Structure 1
Amino acid sequence: MTELVEFSLGALVLLPLLAAAVVMLIGHTARRVLGVVTAVVTAGFTVPVVATVADGDAPELVLGGFTAPLGITLRGDGLAAVFLAGTALIAVVLTVFAALVPAATGEHLTPSGWRPGHPGFWPLWLGCWAGLNGVYVSGDLFNLYVGLELVGLTAVALVALGGRKSWDPALRYLFIAVLGSLLFLTGVGLLAAVTGTLDIAQARAVLEEVEDPTAGLLALSLMTVGLGMKIALVPMHRWLVPAHSAAPAVVSPILSGLVIKAGLVILLRVWLWAVPLVAEAIWLAWLLGALGAIAVLVGSVLALRQDRLKPLVAYSTIAQIGYWFLAFPLLVTEHDDAGAAPGAYSAIVALAVGHMVAKGGLFAAAGYLKLRFGTDEIARLRGAGAQYPALILAMGACAVGLIGLPVSLGFAGKWQLATAAVGAQQWWVVVVIAAGTLLAAGYLLRGIAPLLLQAPQESDHQLPDTGDETAPAAAGSKTRAEGAGELLILLLGVATIGTGFLGSWIYDLLGVGLW
């Protein structure tokens, strides 16, 4: 069993990376088949790692037999196991969806014009998944950077698959990704200069013995700003809405559900594992908390003002990101007499994983509707529920998770965060949670309710016949494969509710390998 777990740690990164190279050498149909097979097998390698962590063990794999600081170590702890499992679920569903609905992968230019479906999706997506898994299991700071770069660069290219309209947002995203990586790498270099190692555990041990915390605090600040840019924390969020809105139907849920979680995982690694939290870092935690509160409120208000579905969902992402940072002041409360830190940590992870599943489903549904109707204007989507009841049901279930209603992981995360805030007597956190929940109900109702109303005329929901073969199919004329894709999105809606029963299990799992 030990050998299988160690092999799985390496395969989680190397298998999708190898598949990304292979799919570039084969035809488009074969790419889809290999992509689905790779997704299923990679998800299978997640099982032994998660099972071992659930038993209370934190497996490690020393690559090449060279231990740190010379070698590279892969580690599977509670944080890694939770995100590996969540990513595997979303990745398998979205991979199968992309294989069934090739038009959801973007469009490419041919001698006869733009055509739906982009063969470049498969190597980029599999490379992105390899980078995500690399971020989750990396035991040293430099390979965290390598994984983050792989995720960021492939994500930028995935956005650009949406055609000409997506190139400007992709370019803006590229600038932010590069600048964020540069700041993070500068912080990594500073920590390496001070500690003499890139291994996370060894760096922490050295920093605990250093009397002057200035270098560690400076490195923490640089890395936090760089990762904040990649996560799209307010006010570093302006790139997110254009990129997530312009991306192809299957790419938007990958970006919102998975890609931004890589930055969050690294941020938690840095704050809770690499750099000992000292009193000097409290001001930074409070700054993050304040920005998180602003993000919850501003993102929600901007979502309420949208008349297009994908931008509404994108602004919702900005608001949901704010909840993660609300917990940071509770992570570093000096002396932590109220014991708020463990609850705040588990709240961040529960909210992030709940957002991963719910936003994956909601963005996939929004992209699918845009693909079917040729628009994501909410007014023109009125009555879509009559033709796509399973899709609207999925959106409703995902909305339950994003609002944070009971029986969802979003509710469990908000409850843990509110409980930790009350224990630490930080009542403002509870106020922000309550306000954000009401606003979330408002903007999600604004986006979903018109779809349930009766359409004034059927013709309002179909594009005029322009003779353009690249135009989306008329609403209702879906193939069996597209119908199956709709059911896959419903599966994410069901998972949004189902994962709500895992709150206690996730809390226990996160304790494995912590500090």
Structure 2
Amino acid sequence: MTFPQFALGALTLLPLLGAAAAVVLPHPARRITGVVTAVVIALLTVPVLVTVTSGELPELVLGGFDAPLGIHLRGDGLAAVFLGVTSLVGLILTGYAAILPKSTGTFLSATAWVPGHPGFWPLWLGCWSGLNAVYLSGDLFNLYVALELVGLTAVALVALGGRKSWEPALRYLFVAVLGSLLFLAGVGLLASVTGTLDLQQTREALGGLEDPTPALLALTLMTIGLGMKVALLPMHRWLVPAHSSAPSVVSPILSGLVLKAALVVLLRCWLWAVPVLAGAEWLTWLLGGLGTAAVLAGSVLALRQDRLKPLVAYSTIAQIGYWFLAFPLLLPGENDDAELASGAYGAVVALAAGHAIAKAGLFTAAGFLKDRCGTDEIAALRGAGAHHPTLILAMGLCAVGLLGLPISLGFTGKWQLATAAVGAEHWWLFLVLAAGTLLSAGYLLRGIAPLLMQAEVDDNTPAANPVTVRERTGELAVLLLGVATLATGLLGAWVSTMLEVGSWW
């Protein structure tokens, strides 16, 4: 076994072991365990990235059982990109949570609600284990199991916000379970047709299928289920209450990382498991239409918000729409050009990866201000930039990524999507991209501009209290995410090269 192969197994099991250890440890030791685990995960990600960059595909068959019986881990380009992004964002957010324990939620003690929830650490590490398993799994069943681990821990993380977050968490749970049932029904239908759950074997079996109707039905069920989990409009109603009421360090985990798990599974199903099917064109155009509606409606709803966290949450719905704009271009069977399909695929990955970093930074900043000032009402936060210039700088850097301006992965993704649209002569995409960018500028200015304006601050308000060393360090963690938003924009060509390793074509 080579070290990269060992790293594949360790990346899925180590966070789970850390979660189990955190359950039995006292609260201060849980923070240490979380930080150590995050550092080790980041170090284990490096050999996988190096191996994939060299053009090799690390694979591991656990227990020596080959497909379709064994558990097959594949560190292809898609997995490597999201492993790297998750390690970067996860390491910074873990450090932020350790520095500012109150950002992890509140729990009811014998007398009152106390900030800093000890349940955060096992739940977060368990969620991280599920995320890594989603990226690396090579069969549909383990994708389902890993996605369930991510979903259930995410619901529990939302509930750490106290009483006000219990109802949104329960709604999130219902949607997650229903989405899982639909996805599992589709997996079962595919297994009954092909006799296997392995992604490659499923594709080979479906390639010789005379009647594509069962496979198309299975793909439709899985797409609807995953659309619910990824909060594609109109299945988005659970997202804003859950993300805005979650603890300040949980919101960036949900928006930046958890949503990407469902997107990765969706890409695996569309591009790896199921070959191009006759009759699937209507579904690609439906997803493209819903993506367009999400970009426009999510942006307009974000413009109407007067609280910072709901504004950032509605912007997530708009950004999700961009990922689905590419679906009418994603299948080479529709435009008979695999290069256009690969360009659309690269656009989706670049947009999602850039969103993970930028949105994590913006949500963390919004949560910091809410914890600091006791509210996230934009009017009440007027002038906060005078006390937190580092934080406002970080928010501005993250806004560059969400707008898709040079230099950022958001710009790379939009450029690739526009290029594929030109090749396929889908001119409507330019109108959506232009309108979405202008609306994004509007709601980001609405959220950030008042923070820069001078305002009279009452000496009795929390904003007037001296900023502690811990809080300043937390601001630096947010600044790291802002800097990473621009720094990763320089890696656009590298990401495209990585995605070719183990790709479906």
- For residue 361 of structure 1, what is the aligned residue in structure 2? 361
Judge conservation of contact 1:354–1:408 (CA < 8 Å) in 2. yes
Greater Cα offset, 257-266 or 336-345: 336-345
- For residue 281 of structure 2, what is the aligned residue in structure 1? 282
- For residue 400 of structure 1, what is the aligned residue in structure 2? 400
Matches within 5 A, 1:201-220: 201-220=200-219
Q: Do structure 1's residue 113 and structure 2's residue 112 form an aligned pair?
A: yes
Residues 359-404 of structure 1 deviation map (CA, whole Å, 9 limit, x = unaligned): 0000000000000000000000000000000000000000000011
Q: Percent of counterpart pairs with the same letter?
A: 71
Judge conservation of contact 2:236–2:317 (CA < 8 Å) in 1. yes
Judge conservation of contact 1:397–1:496 (CA < 8 Å) in 2. yes
- Secondary structure of residue in 2 paired with 1:375: coil
Q: Do structure 1's residue 26 and structure 2's residue 25 form an aligned pair?
A: yes
- Secondary structure of residue in 2 paired with 1:115: strand
Measure the CA separation in 2 of the matches of 1:52 and 1:222: 35
Judge conservation of contact 1:372–1:475 (CA < 8 Å) in 2. no
Measure the CA separation in 2 of the matches of 1:25 and 1:106: 19
Structure 2: segments with no counterpart, 5+ residues:
none
Q: Do structure 1's residue 389 and structure 2's residue 378 form an aligned pair?
A: no
The alignment's TM-score, normalised by the length of structure 1, stands at 0.97
Q: Do structure 1's residue 488 and structure 2's residue 487 form an aligned pair?
A: no
Greater Cα offset, 298-307 or 331-340: 331-340
- For residue 199 of structure 1, what is the aligned residue in structure 2? 198
Matches within 5 A, 1:418-437: 418-437=418-437
- CA shift for structure 1 position 335: 5.1
Measure the CA separation in 2 of the matches of 1:398 and 1:476: 26
- For residue 190 of structure 1, what is the aligned residue in structure 2? 189
Measure the CA separation in 2 of the matches of 1:476 and 1:323: 41
- CA shift for structure 1 position 333: 5.0
- Secondary structure of residue in 2 paired with 1:174: helix
Measure the CA separation in 1 of the matches of 2:334 and 2:396: 42
- CA shift for structure 1 position 475: 4.3
- For residue 293 of structure 1, what is the aligned residue in structure 2? 292
Residues 328-375 of structure 1 deviation map (CA, whole Å, 9 limit, x = unaligned): 000125353453101100000000000000000000000000000000
Measure the CA separation in 2 of the matches of 1:100 and 1:305: 33
- Secondary structure of residue in 2 paired with 1:108: strand
Measure the CA separation in 2 of the matches of 1:182 and 1:408: 37
Compared CA separation, residues 350 and 313, structure 1 to 2 (3 A):
same
Measure the CA separation in 1 of the matches of 2:125 and 2:332: 40
- For residue 511 of structure 1, what is the aligned residue in structure 2? 500
- Secondary structure of residue in 2 paired with 1:112: coil
Judge conservation of contact 1:361–1:398 (CA < 8 Å) in 2. yes
Judge conservation of contact 2:52–2:58 (CA < 8 Å) in 1. yes
Residues 43-68 of structure 1 deviation map (CA, whole Å, 9 limit, x = unaligned): 11111111111111111100000101
Judge conservation of contact 1:20–1:126 (CA < 8 Å) in 2. yes
Judge conservation of contact 2:458–2:464 (CA < 8 Å) in 1. no
485, 489, 496: which one pairs with 1:500? 489
Matches within 5 A, 1:133-172: 133-172=132-171
Matches within 5 A, 1:22-101: 22-101=21-100
Structure 1: segments with no counterpart, 5+ residues:
464-472
Measure the CA separation in 2 of the matches of 1:120 and 1:165: 17
- For residue 223 of structure 2, what is the aligned residue in structure 1? 224
- CA shift for structure 1 position 479: 2.2
- Residue type of the alignment partner of 1:344: A
Q: Do structure 1's residue 438 and structure 2's residue 427 form an aligned pair?
A: no
- Secondary structure of residue in 1 paired with 2:60: strand
Residues 125-168 of structure 1 deviation map (CA, whole Å, 9 limit, x = unaligned): 00000000000000010000001000000000000000000000
Measure the CA separation in 2 of the matches of 1:374 and 1:277: 52
- Secondary structure of residue in 2 paired with 1:334: helix
Judge conservation of contact 2:212–2:278 (CA < 8 Å) in 1. no
Q: Do structure 1's residue 372 and structure 2's residue 372 form an aligned pair?
A: yes
Measure the CA separation in 2 of the matches of 1:355 and 1:265: 14
Residues 99-123 of structure 1 deviation map (CA, whole Å, 9 limit, x = unaligned): 0000000000011200111000000
- CA shift for structure 1 position 291: 0.1
Residues 165-209 of structure 1 deviation map (CA, whole Å, 9 limit, x = unaligned): 000000000000000000001111111111111111111110101
- For residue 263 of structure 1, what is the aligned residue in structure 2? 262
- Secondary structure of residue in 2 paired with 1:122: helix
Judge conservation of contact 2:457–2:463 (CA < 8 Å) in 1. no
The alignment's TM-score, normalised by the length of structure 2, stands at 0.98
- Secondary structure of residue in 2 paired with 1:62: strand
Matches within 5 A, 1:262-341: 262-332=261-331, 334=333, 336-338=335-337, 339-341=339-341
Judge conservation of contact 1:184–1:222 (CA < 8 Å) in 2. yes
- For residue 467 of structure 1, what is the aligned residue in structure 2? none
- Secondary structure of residue in 1 paired with 2:24: coil
Residues 2-50 of structure 1 deviation map (CA, whole Å, 9 limit, x = unaligned): 6111110000010000110110111111000010000000111111111
Measure the CA separation in 2 of the matches of 1:160 and 1:260: 17
Measure the CA separation in 2 of the matches of 1:439 and 1:335: 31
